[in-house]
Structure 1
Amino acid sequence: MNRALHINRRQLLASSLATVATAATAKPLLALSANDRMKVAFIGVGGRGGANLSAISASGAVDVVGLCDVDSRFVDHAATRFSGAKKFADFRKLYDAIGNEIDAVVVSTTEHTHAYATMPALQLGKHVYCEKPLAYNVYETRRIAEAAADAGVVTQMGTQIHASANFRRVVELIQSGAIGDVSEAHVWVSRAWGYQSQADATKHRDRLFVNNRPQGAMKPPAHLDWDLWLGPAPKRPFHEVYFPGPNWYRWWDFGNGTMSDLGSHWNDLPFWALKLDAPQSVESFGLPPHPEIAPASMTAVYEYGQRGDLPPVTLTWYQGTHKPELWTQNAIPRWDSGVLFVGSKGMLLSDYGKHVLLPESDFADFERPEPFIADSPGHHQEWLLACRGEGETGSPFASYAGPLTEANHLGNVAYRVGKKIIWNRDTMECVGCPEAEPFLRREPRAGWSLG
């Protein structure tokens, strides 16, 4: 890796941020008036992509001009609703054909192609909405964050829960000092998909997920362009254990398991409330890493230094069967998934839709602060309004989604190298740990490039 290149890119990003503040608050290059209709292309229109297509097109101020998916069934179905849109299987051809005609792009592909579908839009100066996680690895995430800062367009990562009223009230409580100085945060999710152990796997029908790879090859269905689905990932034969989703995200070549998926939602809350950025160190625990498949259960411990007036804090992530000690000891409500903030004056426990101050008896007469974070018009609507110069997005690539995604990826990096990593965000390397390099970045397959 060219370290000087990354130092220069980091300096460029810092300079860009100083100029434009953030990608969310900058005046859009493609600012639209209230009466203008946005011409939007959608890359990935099945599953999550279909939901994004429905939500964004429902605004009434959007013209769907491009539909792209490697699965022709999804494109053909979407085209029955948007007959005027041009259809594509390859997003590279979409940009070649209509890149200069569009105002914005919505990317809802698989994780390993997010950066490759997003980068051309940023280079063309188009607004972008991209599903989480922002990119497949740390290097791709940094490249996208830098490109977003350079472009000055409006961006939003698909962390829909960020727009919830519950998250806003929790952030207000933490930042107003309701539980004092926060020294610990614990995040756990109950989902246990991925590699567990051979013994556990024999209880289930999906035993293929604990083999290195399924043996043999299967013929891809006629509606799927398998080579395009692979995109920048290494070539491998088609098999039904990868497609359709969500099976693919358990495999390291295509995704990063629960950490990058649910971490985008659950780590979002402490990241926002505690004003986190790059961790100083990360250490992960679990079964020995599988060469092909992300873990079902693991723990990752992040150490963050002082941030302005905020004291250092330890953030611990648990997935699958792993849980915080306070949870296992019944010292807090045993919610299936949750975020626990531990402060000098008490604790706060939250999930997506509710939260509670603990011990409850200590906060019986507590008076909440007046709300100071405005309610969101909706996660998609934030992006649409910001594209017209109205308001900001909650998860812009350069200043928020990028650092959050990088931190989540670093949890997996520490897990895969099997030791504590010391992170240097400026040179984008794990200090004294060259074996981490393949997990921070990879060379794309021939024919694919971030430019």
Structure 2
Amino acid sequence: MKPKNQYSRRKFIRNSALAGSAFFIVPRHVLGRGHVAPSDKLNIAGIGAGGKGESDLANFAKSPNVNIVALCDVDDRLGTVNSRKRFPKANFYKDFREMLQKEAKNIDACSISTPDHTHAVATLAAMQLGKHVYTQKPLTHDIYEARILAQAAKKYRVVTQMGNQGGSGDGVRRMKEIYDAGLIGDIVEAQAWTNRPIWPQGVAKPSGNHPVPSELNWDLWLGTAPKEDYNPAYVPFNWRGFWAYGTGALGDMACHIMDPIYRILPIDYPTSAECSIANQWTGMNQEANNVDSCPVASIIHLEYPRKDKKATLKVSWYDGGLLPKRPDELEPEESFGNWDGGVLFIGTKGKLLADCYGANPRLLPLSKNESAKAVKQTIARVPGGTEGHYLQWVNACIAGYGKGVTSSPFEYAGPFTESILMGNLAIRSALFMDPSVSGWGKSKFTGRKKLLWDAKNMKITNFDEANRFVKRTYREGWGSLTL
């Protein structure tokens, strides 16, 4: 009778993208950077062990071919406690830089599930050590960071995946099959929306004296962000609504909801962005506008030149409870997306609607879906769908750079994230006020200004003040993001 672990390994190989490949038992140190010996399990370190990090690590651990060997979190409470109990053999750290230094020989890959403002520095540090990386959405806080991470993945030859699980779902693949079959003609417009934020936005910067919890290293939590006194208004969840740390409703959800647009159509970078926003005001005092916090609600319009040289694609985003007009083809009681949001493709021959994650795609009117049943499946599905997003990355890491496949490698996720963050560039420019002037009617409140984008040079060409938001200056001691 063969040992149980040999059967598990053989079964794994048969069911993964590695099937049909020849295996040789080679030690990890012989293979070098960016490779995992097939005789080994994938040793993963978690940078961010609570919150989303807790569930990410639990999903990776479902694979019998994964060891969680190290954990890092600045806040040893809540989900971090659960992760430490789940993986008692994993060494625990509070500073990911210390962890990477001490565990470099023990880890093959890193899962990064920190607040947005730490994604890029932690991810790049891991890649520079030759570690494969799985980084939560949005890939980065800033446009410049997304560009750098996409370049780094190629330079350091590591397997990458952004945590937008819908990218591995059946829904987006079915949408492409329907589109490729010509049932809605050529897409000329796309609309996407979400119910977020479900955390405070449009609020004033919090103040007050608060003791730092003993379990929290506040200085490490701040990381690249400016020095600021601890406030419980930020942690553990509501940092999402503040520009210093989060990317608001757009950054939180667009990587899920807009993914079908970017994945199906031949686009990469928008040429322009404009927005309208709803924010908290005090009477008629324009200076009470809360520039430190993302707006209560926003509408964003992006224009993309198609790479196939066809007509420009118009994409609109709605959040904070705002919605596009219901399609005339949708009956009054029929659902328009789901609670989390949705996406609508408007074509020259028809319309295609889906829920958040690209789930439940359907033609409008719904009576047309009988014809969609005849469309054959032409695109391979990811085993496990959205949940398979994790195992897909694990399999690709074990296969090695250039051999395994992931749904959202940084080659894809980098430009995708950049295009999403263009919307935030428009929002932050709309909120911009010149601190050198004051008084009603004197501030540079740009309102609905249309920003023109030079993607090659990562530069707004018609409003230079907006370019301050393309790339942050990191706090002293955190360096700068360079390859």
TM-score by length of 2: 0.80
In the alignment, is the contact (CA less than 8 A) between 1:181 and 1:310 conserved in 2?
Answer: no
Bigger relative contact order, structure 1 or 2, given CA contacts below 8 A and separation 6+? 1
In the alignment, is the contact (CA less than 8 A) between 1:194 and 1:295 conserved in 2?
Answer: no
* 111-120 or 71-80, which deviates more: 71-80
1:246-297 Cα deviation digits (max 9, x unpaired): x011001001100011011001111111132101111111236631111121
The residue identity in structure 1 corresponding to 2:131 is K
Q: Which residue of 2 aligns with 1:252?
A: 243
Distance 1:328 1:346 in 2: 11
> Does 2:240 align with 1:234?
no
* Correspondence 1:297-312 to 2 at 5 A: 297-308=297-308, 310-312=310-312
In the alignment, is the contact (CA less than 8 A) between 2:34 and 2:157 conserved in 1?
Answer: no
Distance 1:45 1:147 in 2: 24
The residue identity in structure 1 corresponding to 2:417 is T
Q: Which residue of 2 aligns with 1:285?
A: 276
In the alignment, is the contact (CA less than 8 A) between 1:279 and 1:305 conserved in 2?
Answer: yes
1:105-128 Cα deviation digits (max 9, x unpaired): 111111110011111111111100
SS in 1 for 2:86: coil
The residue identity in structure 1 corresponding to 2:393 is W
The one of 347, 354, 358 equivalent to 2:351 is 347
Count of residue correspondences: 410
Q: Which residue of 2 aligns with 1:369?
A: 375
* Correspondence 1:144-163 to 2 at 5 A: 144-163=149-168
* 324-333 or 362-371, which deviates more: 324-333
Distance 1:223 1:106 in 2: 22
* Correspondence 1:208-223 to 2 at 5 A: 210-211=203-204, 213-223=205-215
| 1:193 to partner: Cα distance | 4.1
| 1:76 to partner: Cα distance | 4.7
Q: Which residue of 1 aligns with 2:184?
A: 179
1:86-133 Cα deviation digits (max 9, x unpaired): 210000111111123321111111111001111111111110001111
Q: Which residue of 2 aligns with 1:359?
A: 365
The residue identity in structure 2 corresponding to 1:383 is W
SS in 1 for 2:40: coil
Q: Which residue of 2 aligns with 1:446?
A: 476
Distance 1:217 1:268 in 2: 42
The residue identity in structure 2 corresponding to 1:152 is R
Q: Which residue of 2 aligns with 1:133?
A: 138
In the alignment, is the contact (CA less than 8 A) between 2:276 and 2:299 conserved in 1?
Answer: yes
The one of 153, 174, 185 equivalent to 1:169 is 174
| 1:210 to partner: Cα distance | 2.0
| 1:401 to partner: Cα distance | 0.7
Q: Which residue of 2 aligns with 1:396?
A: 409
SS in 1 for 2:452: strand
| 1:331 to partner: Cα distance | 6.8
Aligned in 2, Cα 1:236/1:354: closer, same or farther, shift over 3 Å?
same
Distance 2:267 2:466 in 1: 23
Q: Which residue of 2 aligns with 1:314?
A: 314
The one of 118, 121, 124 equivalent to 1:119 is 124
Q: Which residue of 2 aligns with 1:430?
A: 460
The residue identity in structure 2 corresponding to 1:30 is G
Distance 1:328 1:106 in 2: 44
The residue identity in structure 2 corresponding to 1:132 is K
Distance 1:184 1:448 in 2: 41
The residue identity in structure 2 corresponding to 1:72 is D
The one of 102, 107, 116 equivalent to 1:97 is 102
Distance 1:259 1:189 in 2: 8
1:377-400 Cα deviation digits (max 9, x unpaired): 200011011112264100001x21
In the alignment, is the contact (CA less than 8 A) between 1:281 and 1:302 conserved in 2?
Answer: yes
| 1:192 to partner: Cα distance | 3.8
* 336-345 or 366-375, which deviates more: 366-375
| 1:75 to partner: Cα distance | 4.5
> Does 2:47 align with 1:56?
no
In the alignment, is the contact (CA less than 8 A) between 2:207 and 2:231 conserved in 1?
Answer: no
* Correspondence 1:34-113 to 2 at 5 A: 34-73=38-77, 74-113=79-118
Aligned in 2, Cα 1:69/1:193: closer, same or farther, shift over 3 Å?
same
Q: Which residue of 1 aligns with 2:7?
A: none
> Does 2:262 align with 1:268?
no
Choose 1 or 2 for highest CA Rg. 2
SS in 1 for 2:291: coil
- In structure 2, the gaps of 5 or more residues are 1-30, 280-288, 431-448
In the alignment, is the contact (CA less than 8 A) between 1:28 and 1:387 conserved in 2?
Answer: no
Distance 2:278 2:94 in 1: 39
TM-score by length of 1: 0.86
Aligned in 2, Cα 1:176/1:280: closer, same or farther, shift over 3 Å?
farther
The residue identity in structure 1 corresponding to 2:378 is F
In the alignment, is the contact (CA less than 8 A) between 2:240 and 2:248 conserved in 1?
Answer: yes
Deviation above 6 Å: which 4+ runs of structure 1? Answer: 328-332
Distance 2:460 2:309 in 1: 27
Distance 2:370 2:32 in 1: 46
Aligned in 2, Cα 1:214/1:328: closer, same or farther, shift over 3 Å?
farther
Q: Which residue of 1 aligns with 2:443?
A: none
SS in 2 for 1:93: helix
In the alignment, is the contact (CA less than 8 A) between 1:194 and 1:293 conserved in 2?
Answer: no
The residue identity in structure 2 corresponding to 1:316 is S
Aligned in 2, Cα 1:41/1:182: closer, same or farther, shift over 3 Å?
same
Give the root-mean-square deviation of aligned CA atoms: 2.2
Distance 1:175 1:302 in 2: 23
